[in-house]
Each structure stands twice: as structure tokens, then as C-alpha cells.
Structure 1
Amino acid sequence: MAQNTCDHDVLIVGAGISGIGMAAHLEMMCPGRSYALLERRSDLGGTWDLFRYPGIRSDSDMHTLGFVFEPWRHEKSIADGPSILDYLNRIVDERGIRDKITFDAKVASADWDSTAACWNVTVDRGGRSELVTANWLYLGTGYYDYDDPYDAGFDLSAFEGRVVHPQFWPSDLDYAGKRVVVVGSGATAVTIVPSMADRAAHVTMLQRTPTWMFARPAKDRIANTLRKILPEKAAYAITRWKNILLQDFAFKRSRTHPEKVKEALSKRIEGKLGDRYDKATWTPPYDPWDQRLCLVPDDDLFEAIKADKASVVTGHIQAFEKDGVRLTDGRHIPADIIVTATGLSLAIAGKIAVSQDGAPVNFAERFYYKGCMFSNLPNFSVVFGYLNASWTLRADINSEYVCKVLNHMQATGANVAVPVLPADHGLVEDDVFDFSSGYIQRSKHIMPKNAVDLPWRLNQDYRFDRKALATAPIEDGVLRFDRVDARRAAAEQQLEAAE
């Protein structure tokens, strides 16, 4: 940017969906910008490179989990992990992004230097500490803790079999002919159980409380038909909007008519399981979309249950014994392998120590600005995807918005953009996440603040957000632009040091 001495105009942290999406938008919208990506792992993909458990797949359709600018070409819209990695790898290669990625580079801290309009980013590379500077810092670090998953506090010392956590799946795990107990009832458990059932002796999903589930085909018949008769981009755009509208309708219908949605979901499961259906096992104590619904593609979980390869047990754990799990009602579930699919721990800003002129930034004291920036924090943006829709929908609109801000800065000669919120703002706060999921409730104390209305809000309505970010002026009276002559500031600092 104008008279900027930082190493890069934009530094992107994380080479998963969010980071790759931002890089692609920079290539398309800001071709003159210098940028780099830092990825802590040895390969790209983020979540899709980390998780290696059996059956790893998307729980959103790839026409919305895919990027707005890059059609999803596979026949299955509910895709497995390797297919998603192929998609991401193709994008970084075709768009010249791979050369901008530095792997095995873990960001430890980032400090905003207001005198130079630069982020000073400390990077750990193989035990060596390096400093990288950038005018704008974009975090595509995801939303959960890569190092420490949620610990449910189980005492597993008496169990003589093998214990694994989905976040750290061992490559040498042989479960053929073994009895497996998967503790949990969320998306990970619902994926693992039918995938392991083909080779295991039996797989039991042990749930404390049921989860609302819905089934859909892994292949989108309409999408595959449209691709045969329309140009690829047109077919993708139509399918994408079809699925966005269906997601939006299903979520809002669940909030306005929960009893009707409960009835429909229950009837669908009962119709699939027949005499194996037990109402208590499949009826959660909360309304649909109070927590995220679990997807069952091609009825795979229900088919595994009907084939006696899998079962679902509801109960509370009393103890883990040498050969299984004892429940508080006395039942014993035999196990050779226990999978603790008990959830994630959320993390803010990838656990990076963010500071501003040396003062630590406490995100729990900052308000979101337009779902991607924070009050009084310059040249900084993040992606926290939708809970009620695909993650990439937010990643796309955030990337596009930030690129517009960067272009405005270029046009006006600014190198600082900060959403200004006065101390006496008088904003009415709102619940940042109106969801009862355990991982959400456990993490609310670290979450940034949310106001009732935009712009100081992380919203959960993609259609509204998309229109708001596309139509609102960049100079909205809140986002303040300034110019710091970094060369002059550096010269003054050198002069002061000489004196």
C-alpha cells in the first residue's frame, strides 16, 4: 500500500478454506497486492487435513461449502475429506496461490504498531523465531483448538483396550472384528459409527442425550442434471442458491414451527428404522436447530442399525471398566476400542497472542464489526462461519468485503482502517450464539461481543449479510480511514535512537 514498509500488504494465517478463499479473492479483486499465507501444518486444508477418522466428510453440501467462484464438480455433494482436499489443491494450483504459502509456520503472536501501520507477527518455524510484518492481518484459523480437544473428564485408567480421539486418529488403528463404543452423538459420531461398522464386530454409539438428525442423498440429483444441460458455472450458481434457500427455510421453519419440524424428522427416522425405532432414543430434549442438526447421508447410520452392525444406546456413564463401559442403570457395553467423540474446544484467533501497541487484545471486550472485524482494532479481520449454514458462505462474503476495503484504501491513499466505537457507545448487547450446543456454551466467556443490530454484530443470516455487505458504503461513518507514513515514522525512530 501507499508508502508502506511492511513485508506484505496482507498476511493470511491458515491455509484452510478461509485462508485459501481470501487468497483467491485477493488474486481476483486486488491483483496488485502483495500477500503471503502462513500455515502451521505441513500441508494445506486445515480441518480437512487434520481429521483422518473413518468416513470423514462434509456435513454441509459442497455447493455451499464450496466457494462462490469455483464450481464443485464431483457427483457427490456430500463429499469425503480427500475429495475436498483435491478441490482445495486444484484451486491453489490453478490460481497461483501455492507459491505464496509457507508451511510448518506457526504464528505465536501479532502486535499492531500504530506508528508504522504494520502488524509485527512472530512466527515459530522449526524452533526458530522469525518476524514477518504486514499492513493487514487476516486470520483464517478456524474456530476450534487444534491442540487440545474438549476433555469430558473421563477416568479411562481401568479400560484395557485402546482409546482414541477423532481429532488425533492413529493411522495404525486396526478395528476389524473389534467391538467399538463411540461416546457422543454429534456430527463426528454420526459419521464414524456407520463408517466403522463395515469392518468392526459391532459399533455402539453411546449418547447422553439424543441429537436431531435428518437424512438426504449424498448425490444432488438436481445438481447433476443441471450440469448436463447448462454451462458449469450456471449450473453451480443455480444449485448453490437452491441449497442456500433450502437451508434458510429449514432453519427458520425450525425456529417458528418447532413441533411440526420435530414431527417430520421423527416420522422420517421411524419410517426408516421400522420396528427398531424407539422414540426416546431419537427424540432430543431440545428443539431442532437449538443445536446443529446432524446429517445422515444416504441413511447410512440407519442402514447400519438395521443390519445389526451398529446400535445406539442412551445412558449416563458410571465407569469405564477393563472390558467396556458401565452405565448408571447397571448396563454394561463391551468394548475393545473406545472413541471419545465428545466435542471440540473453541479458540479465538487461533490462540495467537494479539496485541495493539504492546497492550494485549481481549476479544471478549471487543464488538464484532460486520461479522469480520472488531471494534477499535485496525487492519484486522477473521472468519467465523455460520452455525446454521455452510462455513464458506461467510468466508466468501468476508473476503470480498475486506478486498473492497483494501481497494478503497488504495484509492484514497490510506493505510489504516479501524472500526471506531466510542466508550459511551450505548449498544444493546445480544447473545452472540443462540445455540445450546455444549461447545458453544462452554466458550461464551471468550467470545467477542455482539450487538442487536449491524454493523456491530456477527449475524446468523447469510442472505441478509450478503446484501448488507454488498450494498452498504465502505465509508459508513464507523470505519475510519487514516494514513501513517511508515517511512517517515521509521526515520524518526532511527533519529531518536541516534540521539
Structure 2
Amino acid sequence: MEHTATTTQVDVLIVGAGISGIGAAYYLQQEHPGRSYTILESRGATGGTWDLFRYPGIRSDSDLHTFGYEFKPWRDEHAIASADKILAYLRETVSENNIDRNIRFHHKVLGAAWDSGTARWLVDVEHDGELVQFSANWLFCAGGYYRYDQGFTPQFPGSERFAGQIVHPQHWPEDLDYTGKKVVVIGSGATAVTLVPSMADKAAHVTMLQRSPTYIMPVPAKDAFANTARRLLGDQLGYALARRKNIAKQRAVYTFCQKYPNVARRLIRAVNAKQLPAGYPLDEHFSPAYNPWDQRLCAVPDADLFKAIGSGKASVVTDRIATFTDTGILLESGVHLDADIIVTATGLNVQLFGGMSLTVDGQPVNLPDTVAYKGIMLSGVPNFAFAFGYTNSSWTLKVGLLCEHFCRLLKYMDDNGFDSVRPELADSDMATRPLLDFAAGYVQRAIDTVPRQGVDGPWVMSMNYTFDREVLRNGAVTDPNLRFAAARRSEVRECEPVS
């Protein structure tokens, strides 16, 4: 591996300037101020998801007391917050901590090659149409799990015939005027249930067309407990208390749904029935075939979706598409939905690590052949960390713990003179299972292209905050499955667990 004179040298290279990358930068400079780092962002702004998506009503579906950073209180009265507020919060974090000086925009990582002899990654990056290179001891991928340049849209028969406009939420036109228009939103996930009530006030009518129902629960947009705690105890203590309360609440709801799915189903149905007009066909439109939390539960702040349905400005249709027509969508039942605008809220394309290629000492890394270690590293890949948050709770809760563990691992390596570490499977025939035990379509479409997880020990991709807090925050950073090395001394050593 050759490092040219123009290769930029850095200790840690963070990929992505969204919520995960900003968090990783904060923890790194707090715990390791002597280490240099650079954040590479393929787009021209910070914020990731919250800067990319521009569709009406875009908001969080997790409360910001847990979706926000543990180190930075959320001060707004709205717990379920709009994208502009989240973006302002993220950019304030960047500014307060001088993280912006370490961000390079319009830098897309193409591939990275690890060389054990130097204990460094040589990273190929596209910048303004030219190839530039970075050399780093560590690569930290914080770019999320989906493709930023392309959303998922199925092939709909007859779509070329439709005379109106077809829009994907990931590529929302700034000048789209839907005032007085008939809109059909295809989908029933978080994006669809956000779009429908947000568009209903201006549109002539909005129809949510779903192939099958999703569990939907109304939640207060404002957290009365959190706002009272902040007023009485101040920002820091009030935020910490609200955060603990909401972590416990999220975990309790998830555990209850998993343990008592039939009871949970009945409770959700009762809540939905209370919000909808009398006689509404609840079982047809709001009774999924799967159990609660087999897929992510959709939250609607202050029951806005149900209110839009109750007002007559919005409706739900559960059916399958036969074909698009000149004027709308013909359903398999024979019903025709008239539309001026069709919104395909049909999901994401999963893509880990920004689609970059990886090689280790000249050998390509095939992601499906790797196994996730503690949800932060990959078997056989040295000095490579990634941020992947919770699918059953607030994403950032896990990212914070991963960043803490990463910083503790770096300290251990510094204290013991190591400059590389890689997880290795003790048993190459160890049983594995899909990385994510999640039934969502976007996950299932990509399940064979991503790493896997084991069935026990550090190879489990945990989605349990209480467990992860003990393992990642308080547990040992060493493990019999880790191989530490010092390139300068050509020393490789297995380490017994220590705190």
C-alpha cells in the first residue's frame, strides 16, 4: 500500500455527518482530545436524514429525550419534534463543540484497504469528481443504513400512463403544490402516516393506500412529565430524569408486546377505536396480521392521523394495486382511486457503510460472510467500527453506548501499546442468524447482503438498552474473541477479559 504525498493522514476517519457521526465526533474529542479525526460527508450539509428529507410534516417517531444525545439536553417543549427542530439541535451540537472544523463535505467514500504492516486504512474518496485519499488508523462508519441517493419504489404496472405527478418522499420537489389536489399516498409506515395528516389541510383529499395495515398508536406531541421536570429541576437534571423515564417506558412497552401479543393487540385496537369515528371498519384498516412490534410501531403525535380521517379530509384504503391509469390507480377490487399526485411512501433501500468496498491485506471483505461483534465491529476486519442504533427504541440510545465503548477500547489499546484489533470467530462453523430480527420489508429485501449475527455472547446484535448498558458502558473492553496487535513490534496477543 502506497501513501502518496497528497494522502491526508488522520487517526480516526468518521464517515457521515448525521446524528451518529456528530455523536461519534463529540465522544472522541471528549475522551481522546489528542487524537485527530475527520468526518467525511458525501452531501453538502450536516444532519443526515434530517437534512435530506423535505416532505411535509417530517418529524421524529421517537421522543427527543431519548433520541437526543445524553450529553445535550433537549430543551424544546415538543418531545415528538419536527425535522427543522432536530436539525437545529444537531447543528447547535456541531457548533458548540467546534466539530464543524473537522467536517469535509462532498467527500464520498468509495473503498478502504487495510494494511496490517502499517496498521492503517487507505481510503479512496471521490471529491468534486476527483479521487483523493485518506490514511487512518481507524475507520468509523456512521452513515446509517440506507441509500441517500435512491429510495425504494416497486415496479407499478402502468405507472408510465399516469398523467399526474409521481413523487417519492426521499426526493420531494421543493415546488410541489398540492393545494386542492387529490393525493394518494402508497404505504402505511412512518412516512405515510406523517404525510397524510400533514397534507390533508391543503389537499382536496388524501388517501392512504396500504397493502396491509400497520400498528399505529397516538402519542402526546408534548411530554408533560419532561416539561415539568425541566421547569422544576433545570435543563440537565430534568432532561436526565425524563430520559430515564422514557427509556423505561419504551422497554416496558416493547417487552409487554413481545410477551403478551394478543393482549397488546386488543389494547391497541381499543385505543384506535376510541380515536376513530363510530362504526369505522377498524379490522379492515387497522388490524395487522403480525404481532405488535414484529415491525416498528408507528407513532402519530396528538392522534393527527385519526383526526384527519375523522374530519373527512383523509381516508384509508386497504387493497392491492392492479394498475396505474391515466387518472389514478385501479385496485384489484375494481375500485378506482382518482389522483392528481401519487406519493410512493414505499420505503428505503438498505445499504450499509455507504456502499463502500473493503479489503483486508488485499483480500475483499464479503459482508454476508462477516459476523457483527457487540454490534460495533465485524469479524475479521481490523480497526473498523460502525454505528447501528435500535430498531425497537430510539436509534441514538445505542449509538451513544457504542461510542462510549469505542472510546474505552481506544484507551485500552493506548495503555497497552496496541495499534490494531480485530474480532475473530473461535468457531468458523458457529451458528448465525440474520443481523436484524425484524419483519419490515426494507430489512427483508437486503437481509442476504449484510453481515450476520451469532446466537449468543458478543456476537449477538442486541436491541436491549439495559443489557447493552452493562456490556458496552460497564463491561470489559477485552474479550477472548479479540486479537490485539502492535504493528511496530509485530506482536499479536489474545487478552483475557478485564475491566
TM value normalised by structure 2:
0.95
Residue 195 of structure 1 corresponds to which residue in structure 2?
A: 198
Aligned to 2:422: 418
Measure, in 2, the Cα distance between the counterparts of 1:88 and 1:276: 44
Residue of structure 1 equivalent to 2:31:
29
- Where do residues 447-466 of structure 1 align in structure 2 (5 Å cutoff)? 447-466=450-469
Q: Residues 434 and 447 of structure 2 are in contact (CA less than 8 Å); yes or no, is this contact kept in structure 1?
A: no
- 1:117, 1:486 within 8 Å by CA — same for their partners in 2? no
Report the counterpart of residue 238 of structure 1 in structure 2. 241
**1:91-133 deviation digits (Å, cap 9, x = unpaired):** 0110110000001111111111111111111111110100011
- Which consecutive unaligned segments of at least 5 residues does structure 1 have? 488-499
Structure 2 stretches lacking a partner, 5+ long: 1-6, 491-499
The aligned amino acid for 1:250 is V
Matches within 5 A, 1:64-463: 64-155=66-157, 156-275=159-278, 277-278=280-281, 279-422=283-426, 424-463=427-466
Name whichever of 136-145 and 148-157 sits farther off.
Answer: 148-157
C-alpha contact 2:153 2:344 (8 A) present in aligned 1: no
Contact 1:292 1:387 in 2 (8 A): yes
Call closer, same or farther: CA 1:486–1:34 in 2, change over 3 Å.
farther
Tell me the C-alpha RMSD between the 2 structures. 1.4
Q: Give secondary structure in 1 for the equivalent of 2:398.
A: helix
Between Structure 1 and Structure 2, which shows a larger proportion of strand residues?
2
Q: 1:46 aligns with which of 33, 45, 48?
A: 48
Find the residue that maps to 1:23 and give its secondary structure: helix
Post-superposition offset of 1:6 = 7.5
SS of 1:112's equivalent?
strand
Query: RCO (CA 8 Å, sep 6+): is it higher in 1 or 2?
Result: 1
Output the CA distance in 2 between the equivalents of 1:430 and 1:108: 28
Q: How many residues align?
A: 482
- Conserved 8 A contact 2:431-2:455: yes
- TM-score of the superposed pair, with normalisation by structure 1: 0.95
Deviation at 1:39, TM superposition (A): 0.3
Partner amino acid for 1:203? V
Cα offset, 1:148, TM superposition: 2.3
Partner of 1:11: 13
Post-superposition offset of 1:430: 3.3
Deviates more, 1:438-447 or 1:13-22: 438-447
**C-alpha distance in 1 between matches for 2:124 and 2:280:** 55
Give how far 1:469 is off: 1.5
Q: CA deviation at 1:484?
A: 1.2
Q: How many Å apart are 1:486 and its aligned residue?
A: 10
Measured in 2, the distance between the counterparts of 1:73 and 1:232 equals: 7
Counterpart residue identity of residue 288, structure 2:
P
Is 1:291–1:435's contact at 8 Å kept on the other side of the alignment?
yes
Q: Which amino acid aligns with 1:397?
A: L
Correspondence for 2:3: none
Conservation of the 8 A alpha-carbon contact between 1:318 and 1:328: yes
What CA deviation, in whole Å up to 9, does each residue of 1:16-74 have, x standing for no partner?
Answer: 01100000001211111110100001000111111000000001110111011111111
Letter in 1 for 2:423: P
